[in-house]
A and B are shown apart, each in its own frame.
Chain A
Amino acid sequence: MLARLLPRILPRLTTLAIALLLGFVLAAHAPGDAFSDLELDPAISPHTLASLRARYAPDQPVGQRLTAWLGAASHGDMGYSFTFHRPVTTLLRERTPSTARLVILAWLLAWSLGVGLAGWAVLSRSTAGAVLRSSLVLATSALASLPLAMLAIAALLWAPVQWLPSLLMAPDNTPTWPWLPAAVLALAFLPLTYLQCANALALAWEKDFVLTALSQGHRPRYVLWRHAFPNTWDTLLPLAALTFAQLLADAVIVETLLNWPGIGQLAVTAVTEHDVPLVAGLVLLTSVVVVATNMLADFLQFLSNPRLRMT
């Protein structure tokens, strides 16, 4: 089993290393630093500035800074963010739950709606009218052509004010469930999940075992969910992991436009403010999450497909 899983794990670890290197080197090469703005302040003497730089941004080669940063990061210390005046670890710990809620909710919504709609489309293939089916195709294509940002703006414009997440913050500043941003994200991914599920289910529906089960007198709905659906997992699981990564990326846009305080919003600020430790921390965090999701999908695929376990 380990021999089968290892070739899959190694590329994932390489991904992690590359992401880390890319994030750190790029952020380190950015023009200016977190103290550039302070230079404009006449109240801060050049001496203070020099000592700040010596302490927080020592003039060393990137390689040395990277190893120092890695050493500290392994103890949970990812440096200090000068934009927010807090340790990066604290910032990430505060913001991650918001993004996790958003992405998990959107992921569940997009896939459950996609699977449900696809199941309905397969079952009603003979009964639903041609008009209804072709209008579903047209609606899917049109929805897939709308930019995510426009969906977010439409939500901002037409949703009742009470639905907007930033206004739903509890008094102690803990975020509630972000239904509206999650719905926007899920809607943007619905065409993808629906089409992939519909393709996979339609393929499984042609198989002999479905015909056998139907001729034994089982109800079509039972046959679909009990026999055809589990046979699509092998194709759908890697896709489900892939969409999770894409949702994490698109969350940056939705969080920025709908003002949801997650790591995506943090990333945009970090980049505009040249906050090197924060950018490096964010790239590390997101790539760990993406790699972990893919590994989980590999493992689930392994469990669901006996053919992979044979040799």
Chain B
Amino acid sequence: MRFRRLAATVALVWLALATLGPLLAPYSYRAQDRDLILHAPCMRCGMTADGAARAHWLGTDDLGRDVLSRLLLGTRISLTLAIAMAGGALAIAVPVGLWSAVSPAVDVPGRIAGEVVRGLPWIFVLLAVRSALPLNASPVTLVLALVTIFAAATWAVPAWIFRGTARALMQREFMAAARALGASRRYLIYRHLWPNLQPLVWTYFAFLFIAAALAEVSLSMIGLGIPEPLPSLGNMLAVLRNPSLIQHAWWLLAPLGVLLPLLTCLNLYAFSESRRLSG
């Protein structure tokens, strides 16, 4: 309970950062400053040709691009992507979970589909999909592929949990009363099941969001994330595949400064909620 407000506050601040941040970015995400490759954070890093001072508050990366500007846009791209991935999974999980609680016609196929999906080796499927797309596939295509595969891979577990909780709710007196009064299944879902399930759905949104954000970083590491030159928190960290860069250019770890506080707060919220709701 006490983490709900903390998580909501941090999430709102980060969303505001993602919305407004890129507007405040001092440089373009793809502008290169070729004299200042891997330069440490500095307020005055020299002069441009027209005499203005160059400032890189978070230093520059291995191609001389401003880390702060890329971080602001990368935050927007990564958060949007993670929200789309988690939302896509819930868009399947919530209807399947709720309808399988009230209707056996959905229950049996839903359960079989869930079993089938849980057994697939998803990262190998993703690798195969990536190889089927041309090397110069547009970022939009890749994002769509990521969202679809993530949603297809992860909907089964939340749907199963929603179904269990909804079935437990169906045994309660108010549900028996509603059914005795002749309420339709659609009415039961909208009026009774969905409002009661909302805290659980938000908890799973948090879990899925965390999984999606982490997956983006890990996939970028093996070159399967958002393609350069667009920045994302994952592909900004991907240069650290050469670990000696961390020792020489610690400021390249900046994306972790965005990712870790947000995900830790969401984890605290999701863990405490799932414990409260399950026990």
A positions within 8 Å CB-CB of B: 8, 10-12, 14-16, 18-19, 22-23, 26-27, 29-31, 137-138, 140-142, 144-150, 153, 156-157, 191, 195, 199, 202-203, 242, 245, 248-250, 252-253, 256-257, 267-268, 270-272, 274, 279, 282-283, 286-287, 290-291, 294
**Complex contacts, B27 vs chain A, CB 8 Å:** none
B240 at the A interface (CB under 8 A): yes
Whether the Cβ atoms of A148 and B214 lie closer than 8 Å is yes
**Complex contacts, A202 vs chain B, CB 8 Å:** 279
**Nearest Cβ distance between residue B198 and chain A, in whole angstroms?**
21
Whether the Cβ atoms of A279 and B120 lie closer than 8 Å is no
Interface Cβ pair total, 8 Å cutoff: 162
Whether the Cβ atoms of B121 and A248 lie closer than 8 Å is yes
**Which among A19, A141, A145, A253 is the interface contact of B222 at CB below 8 angstroms?**
A253
**Which among B121, B263, B274 is the interface contact of A19 at CB below 8 angstroms?**
B121
B257 at the A interface (CB under 8 A): no
B13 at the A interface (CB under 8 A): no
Number of residues of chain B lying within 8 A (CB) of chain A: 49
**Which among B116, B134, B218, B266 is the interface contact of A11 at CB below 8 angstroms?**
B116
B217 at the A interface (CB under 8 A): yes
A22-B128, A141-B264, A248-B121 given; A157·B247 CB < 8 A: yes
Main secondary structure of the interface of B (DSSP, over half): helix
**Complex contacts, A283 vs chain B, CB 8 Å:** 121, 124-125, 128
Q: Known pairs A15-B115, A137-B272. 11 more at Cβ < 8 A?
A: A18-B116, A26-B132, A27-B128, A31-B134, A146-B260, A147-B217, A191-B267, A250-B218, A252-B127, A267-B127, A270-B131
Whether the Cβ atoms of B124 and A286 lie closer than 8 Å is yes
B241 at the A interface (CB under 8 A): yes
B4 at the A interface (CB under 8 A): no
**Complex contacts, B272 vs chain A, CB 8 Å:** 137
Whether the Cβ atoms of A256 and B222 lie closer than 8 Å is yes
Whether the Cβ atoms of A137 and B271 lie closer than 8 Å is yes
Whether the Cβ atoms of B217 and A149 lie closer than 8 Å is yes
**Which among B120, B210, B243 is the interface contact of A287 at CB below 8 angstroms?**
B120
For B121, give the chain A residue with the smallest CB separation: A286
Whether the Cβ atoms of A279 and B115 lie closer than 8 Å is no
For B135, give the chain A residue with the smallest CB separation: A31
Whether the Cβ atoms of B124 and A150 lie closer than 8 Å is no
CB-defined A-B contacts under 8 Å, sample of 22? A8-B115, A14-B112, A14-B116, A15-B117, A30-B131, A31-B134, A31-B135, A137-B271, A142-B264, A145-B260, A147-B214, A147-B237, A153-B241, A249-B124, A250-B123, A267-B127, A271-B128, A283-B125, A287-B121, A290-B119, A290-B120, A294-B118
**Nearest Cβ distance between residue A32 and chain B, in whole angstroms?**
9
Whether the Cβ atoms of B115 and A11 lie closer than 8 Å is yes
Whether the Cβ atoms of A150 and B256 lie closer than 8 Å is yes
B275 at the A interface (CB under 8 A): yes
B17 at the A interface (CB under 8 A): no
Q: Which 6 A-B pairs have the closest CB atoms?
A: A145-B263, A11-B115, A15-B119, A141-B267, A147-B217, A286-B121
Whether the Cβ atoms of B112 and A15 lie closer than 8 Å is no
Report the separation of the CA atoms of residues A30 and B134 in the bound assembly, to the nearest whole angstrom. 7
**Complex contacts, B122 vs chain A, CB 8 Å:** 249
**Nearest Cβ distance between residue A248 and chain B, in whole angstroms?**
7
Report the separation of the CA atoms of residues A148 and B241 in the bound assembly, to the nearest whole angstrom. 13
* Max chain B C-beta neighbours (<10 A), residue from A14, A27, A138, A153: A153
Whether the Cβ atoms of B132 and A29 lie closer than 8 Å is yes
Whether the Cβ atoms of A149 and B218 lie closer than 8 Å is yes
Whether the Cβ atoms of A249 and B267 lie closer than 8 Å is no
**Nearest Cβ distance between residue A54 and chain B, in whole angstroms?**
23
